[in-house]
Amino acid sequence: EGLVEFHSMPWSPLQKSASAGLAIGSTLIAGILWIFHSNGGAAGYDTNPSMRMQILGLFMVSIANFTVFTVLARKSADERDQAVLGWAPQVQAISVLLLLVAAWCVTLPVRFHSEGSVPTIYFYLISGSAWLVYMLTYFAGVILGSWVAPRHGQR
C-alpha cells in the first residue's frame, strides 16, 4: 500500500532533473560512440584531430549537462530528496569500479598482451569513459534511490 502511494506521487524536481540529465547524457554518449566508431576507433582518435575535437566538444557538453542538472536538482531538494541523494554515490562507485576493473584493466592487457604494452591513447579513453559513467550513474542513482528509498522506510 505504501509503495502504491509513493508511485502515485508526482515526480519531484530532483527526479525530473535526474531524468532529463540521464536522457541528455545518454544521447551525448551515443554521439561520442558513433563518432568514435565511424572514424576508425582508437586509431582514428590518435591520428584525426577533427575527430578528437568533436569528441572533446561532446565531452565538454556532458560536463555542462552534469553540472546544470546537478545544481538544479540540489537547489530544489526537499527532505525526501535528501534521502534519495544518498543513493547516487553508491551506484556511482560500483559502476565506475566495474568499468575500470572489468572493462579496462581486464580487456586491455588481454588485447595488447602480444605487443607488450597498451597504447597511450587508451589512457585518455579510460579517463573519459570513467567520467561519462560517473555522470550517467549519478542520474541513474537518483532515479534508483527514488524507487528504493521509500521501500526502506526513508521518506
pLDDT digits (tens, 9 = 90+) for 120-137: 888 888 888 888 888 888
Cell of 89: 554515490
pLDDT at 3: 52
Q: Per-residue pLDDT for 12 more than 80?
A: no
Direct distance between the N- and C-terminal alpha carbons of the chain, in angstroms, rounded to an integer: 15
pLDDT digits (tens, 9 = 90+) for 71-80: 887 777 777 7
CB 2 within 8 A of CB 155: no
Give the whole-angstrom CA distance, residue 138 versus residue 89. 7
User: Mean pLDDT over residues 34-58, rounded?
Assistant: 92
Give the whole-angstrom CA distance, residue 155 versus residue 147. 11
Average pLDDT for the chain: 83
Least confident of 12-21, 62-71, 132-141, 145-154: 145-154
Q: What are phi and psi of 131, to 5 degrees?
A: -65, -45
Which value, to the nearest 10 degrees, does the dihedral of the CA atoms of residues 24, 35, 94, 10 take?
10
* 35 vs 150, residue with greater confidence: 35
User: Mean pLDDT over residues 65-94, rounded?
Assistant: 81
* 124 vs 38, residue with greater confidence: 38
pLDDT at 76: 73
CB 136 within 8 A of CB 22: yes
pLDDT at 38: 95
Percent of the chain with pLDDT over 70: 90
User: Taking Cα atoms as reference points, which of 31, 22, 23 lies closest to residue 57?
Assistant: 31
pLDDT at 155: 47
Which value, to the nearest 10 degrees, does the dihedral of the CA atoms of residues 92, 90, 101, 134 take?
10
